[in-house]
Amino acid sequence: MKIKTILLFILTIFLMCQTLTAENQTSRHIHLVYDDSASMIRWSATNTAPWTWLDRWGQAKYAMEVFAAMLEENDLMRVYYMSDHLPFVSTGFANTNAPPRITIRGSEPPNVRVQRIRNTVTWASYTPFDPVVRAFNDLSASDADERWLVVLTDGAFNYLAGVRNDQLYREVNSRLTDFARNSDENFNIFLLAMGDDEDLERLASTITPNPRIGYHFVHARNSADILRRITEINNQIFRRNILRLRNEDKLEFNFDIPMNELFVFAQGPQVRISSINSVRGNDVFYPEESVNVRFSEVPTTNPRWNDPNLVKVSTELQGIVATFRNIPVGRYRLEATGAQTVEIYYKPDVRLGIKLFRRGREVRNSEFIQGRYRVRFGIIDERGRFRESELLDVITYNATVRNADNEFDITDGDIVTLKPGDLVIDAHAQFLNISISETMDGLRVYSTFEGFKRWLAKYWWLLVIIGFLILIFLLWGLKKKLPRIPKAPIITVTKGGNTEIEQGQYRIIKKTRWQPLRPQEALIKVSTEADVPKLHVRAIGGNQMKLLNADRFTPERLHDYGFNIGGREITNNFVFNNTTQIVTTYKIMNQRVTEECSLIYKKKTTNKNTKKKKR
């Protein structure tokens, strides 16, 4: 438990350093001071036999292998070995300014990085503080965005140039405090002390860390204490992006946002990682990078502490670090064998979106009209839609707007008033120690009049279509209001026999309810002796007409005159067809005379002299 927990602490620090998206990759330098002194191998309160052989050296070296395996492309790690600052007690001289023994770049292949740690074996001796000073000075001169100083030691410091041993621990604390206080907010110091011997207790009682200035001290006396302290540090300072297993027995997990990278660290004898398989599909993802990390067998080149029969080797320390990339949303299963512990760390593949809304509707083009807009920020999917995920935790947004000659800061949901001129919005989102950015540029805000002109030039054809449709609608409406002339019947009266009949065409104009207008009647006249009434008719549709004054054509009213339409007697509500013969019978000088007239419907004819007047 103690070994695994120490390793997780180092791994956690590393992962927190690296959880930035590739779009906004931060440069980071990590200076690690490795205590390869004899007290990491064996220890005695009297510094004489009998010795207690320890595996602290193997724990720390195994952790460094994992640390090197997880480096990203832009990372730089320098390792300072305390044995390179070996003091020469007999002459009072020490090499207090040795450079780092190993420089590892994340751009190197993972197996090359790991082998450089594993193959480096040094001369174990004292525990000087000088390499910490050198590592700090080198790191202070770095122009990296983030700088991390990590010290792995059992805390038994016994040399610092120019400082007496009785003042050493107090000076160590003073130096570390000054280092943190005089550095910027992107500089952090971690001192991890492992063990429970007297020297370490003296150091722990002297150290006064100050997390507010970036100075952190962890004293792990035993395995349970290591776990508790590491958890405490993670909660206070770091955020470990651990992907929780949905089913630990089957190694199943899921996520609702796409992943840029998954780092899988599995430990156990003969552990192997083959792939990540989709539970509900056929997708299979193989590691793009994979490297084995394992225990070391040789602690030092110093023969005094290199007896294979006595050296304690942590043979249980075996693991594999695999990197998977570009995995879409879904539910998956890790195909691994021989794993006793599995940790999965994730880096989401998300983009920051900027949207402007006016009157509640999103404005999607790059040209805006002056006015008030609500600005929204959010994580967007491949379709450009805002989405949320618990894996992103709490997200904070901030942005700078440059419009015309103005520049001001806003956050999500703020309302801004845009003026005519150029528009640029720089937005930033922070979550899980990840920082992503998005810029909207090349935008232009136009005045209302300019915007209308640009819109008109772009959509003139649409206005033409709309105008045409409006014209058709107006004409249709006008037609509904005017008399329906196209279907208005025309009665043509033709002369027959010697009867005096007023000839001509008479238009009966109908409306939607078939109300006739003047002239309403077909004027049929016979001789002066013939007192035949005029026909009053109304068009009722279906090429039919109705006789409105049928009561005036009864035999009682006509006496000697007979009158029929289409050979039918006249009755109330008399209706006749569009082409019908009107027959009038009368007597002249004792002779019966028959006159026939035809009522014929015709299409519309123009008659300017005809007045149209409502009844």
Q: Among 218-222, 391-395, 455-459, 498-502, which range has the highest average pLDDT?
A: 391-395
558 and 428 in a single domain? The answer is no
How far, in Å, CA of 79 to CA of 455, rounded? 63
How far, in Å, CA of 79 to CA of 150, rounded? 10
Q: What is the pLDDT of residues 349-382, one digit of tens each?
A: 899 999 999 988 888 877 788 899 999 999 988 7
Residue 255 lies in a domain: yes
Say whether pLDDT at 222 is over 60: no
Domain with 570 in it: 486-599
384 and 458 in a single domain? The answer is no
122 and 258 in a single domain? The answer is yes
Place of tokens 């492992």: 194
Q: What is the pLDDT of residues 28-77, one digit of tens each?
A: 888 999 999 888 888 887 778 888 888 888 878 887 888 788 877 888 99
Residue 253 lies in a domain: yes
From 347, 368, 400, the end of a domain falls on: 347
CATH number for position 417:
2.60.40
Tokens of 384: 């450009």
CATH number for position 244:
3.40.50.410
Residue bearing the bigger pLDDT, 419 or 478: 419
Residue 615 lies in a domain: no
51 and 184 in a single domain? The answer is yes
HSE value, Cβ hemisphere, 13 Å, CA-based, for 137: 11
130 and 145 in a single domain? The answer is yes
In 185-304 the beta strands, taken as DSSP E runs, fall at 187-194, 215-220, 252-255, 259-267, 272-278, 284-285, 289-294
How far, in Å, CA of 240 to CA of 19, rounded? 9
Residue 604 lies in a domain: no
From residue 541, give the alpha-carbon distance in Å to each of 195, 270, 479, 612: 111, 98, 18, 19
How far, in Å, CA of 608 to CA of 57, rounded? 118
527 and 494 in a single domain? The answer is yes
From residue 564, give the alpha-carbon distance in Å to each of 22, 169, 182, 398: 101, 137, 124, 96
pTM of the prediction?
0.62
Question: Structurally, how many domains does the chain consist of?
Answer: 4
Residue 211 C-alpha from the chain's centroid: 35
Q: What is the pLDDT of residues 413-464, one digit of tens each?
A: 999 999 998 999 999 998 876 788 898 888 888 887 777 777 777 778 888 8
Q: What is the pLDDT of residues 506-544, one digit of tens each?
A: 443 332 232 332 333 333 333 334 455 666 666 666 566
Residue 523 lies in a domain: yes
> Of the candidates 202, 208, 126, which has an alpha carbon nearest to the alpha carbon of residue 161?
126
C-beta of residue 509 within 8 angstroms of C-beta of residue 613: no
Angle at 559 between CA 557 and CA 562, to 5 degrees: 95
C-beta of residue 44 within 8 angstroms of C-beta of residue 76: no
